[in-house]
Amino acid sequence: MAQPSITLFNTLTMQKEPLEPTEPGAVRVYVCGPTVYSYIHIGNARTFTSFDVVVRYLRYRGFRVTYVRNYTDVDDKIIKAAHETGEEPVALASRFVEAFREDARALHMVEPDVSPKVSDHIPEIISIIQKLVDKGVAYESQGDVYFAVSRYPDYAKLSKRNLDDLRAGERVHPGDQKREPLDFALWKAAKPGEPSWDSPWGKGRPGWHIECSAMSARYLGESFDIHGGALDLIFPHHENEIAQSEGASGKQFSKYWMHCGFLDIEGAKMSKSLGNVVRLRDALTKVDAEALRFFFLSTHYRHPLNFADKAIADAEYRMEYFYETLRKVDERVAGKDFGKGPLHGEPGRFLKEFEAAMDDDFNAPNGLAALSGLFGLMNELTDKPPVKDKALVGRTLQALREDVRKVSGVLGLFEDEPAQWLLRRRERAVRERGIDVAEVDRLIAERNEARKAKNFAEADRLRTELKAKGVEIMDTAAGTTWKVAAPATEAA
């Protein structure tokens, strides 16, 4: 069976290219994971969600994917954080590895095939450094080992930076043992209070960049297909990865490079210096996880994304619309047999449109647009069906519902049971708006009695009273239910 035609934007060539994996039918993916010195922020979460969807979609399209995402558990930031808390660096890193796993599960991320830690791969790191030293591309200096950038002619081919400009902006700092300003550390000599390991150059620990070269080679080979990460990793991290990996192996490191755009807070780039860093687990106390995923996917992964209250509220109301639609459809067709026969219109076109969007550089926003058409048709068929044939409508709704399940496996959305999701959503909105649930239930019961008595004027009055309290009621085949209405300025 022929593989689908997928294109992706390659940062290395700065153009879209067809995905042609080294081994037909198999894609090897490496994504730079978190440095586990604290909880991840929503910018990290956006990057990891984007690549989560890339991996899911490749598998959906039939590729055998090997997905590796590492943990950096040996790093200057970890050592600094451990000194501040009084913990051992390894213990602090282990604690935040588990915190990351909890956050990733909460955001519906699939677990990578391999999640290697730096501390478990010191032998592989030492081995690749030794290769570089033996080839004369790296040198030892008083217990440190540095990569000699001048010995790698293709340096900066990913970032497209001018080496003369880089040299002008760098200098050898006091205490550095490197020969040239652009040379970077592969191994750092041990210092008091820092974790260290034995090596041919004395006790010490890895530099930042070498870890990904060693771990990707260990699990994906010296050459693999896709390397991903955030935009700010292009230089120096990914640039240095390429130099040291290709300097050691003599082979192309990664065929395709994918980078996720920045996430801004109300228009300002999220950064600690600005004091506007939002931790993922804090965000998830205020917004539903699937709504946050929807928000991340509503903008193309390569483009900047603005994290604003209005945008997050819109995402929640949009997810509420999706789940309300699914609830109605499930009530109509779940467990029913409508027999075999034709379908109304061309319901399969929406899945084809979704696939076409995702085939084009994993364009999730266009995929979501196709999904909106699918949900629109489901609402039309449940609320005002254009045909009277109930079996025809039922078969079509079942086909559309199955397509939603397929898309769900790609996007990590619509994974919950609709009634449960809607109830959680309502409970959160009730707390935020200070609505008295007991009073709402009482007024709904009174309205139901008025309707039974055919006192429609009283039923309408009670509906209006509920609306004034911020409550919207829905009369369904299963009975009357209600939700917290969207404020007029926030309605989707």
Contact 340, 327 (CB under 8 A): no
Q: Is the dihedral of CA 448, 423, 485, 437 positive or negative?
A: positive
Q: Is 164 exposed, middle or buried (CB count within 10 Å of its CB: 0-12, 13-18, 19+)?
A: exposed
Q: Which amino acid is at 17?
A: E
237 labelled binding-site residue? yes
Closest C-alpha among 173, 205, 176, 209 to residue 188: 205
241 labelled binding-site residue? yes
Segment holding 31, helix H or strand E: strand 26-31
272 labelled binding-site residue? yes
Closest C-alpha among 230, 285, 297 to residue 106: 285
The DSSP code sequence of 243-285 is HHHHHHHSS-SEEEEEEEPPEEETTEE--GGGT---BHHHHTT
Whether the link from the prior residue into 123 is cis, omega within 30° of 0, is: no
Task: Give, in degrees to the nearest 5, the angle at Cα 467 between 465 and 473.
Answer: 110
Closest C-alpha among 329, 324, 310, 368 to residue 492: 310
Distance CA(169)–CA(372), nearest Å, equals 49
Q: Which amino acid is at 35?
A: T
Q: How far apart are the first and last CA of the chain?
A: 42
The DSSP code sequence of 335-369 is T----S---SS-TTHHHHHHHHHHHBT--HHHHHH
286 labelled binding-site residue? no
Segment holding 296, helix H or strand E: helix 289-297
Contact 156, 229 (CB under 8 A): no
Annotated binding site: 32, 212, 237, 241, 272
Query: Which residues carry a binding-site annotation for Zn(2+)?
Result: 32, 212, 237, 241
Known binding-site positions for ATP: 272
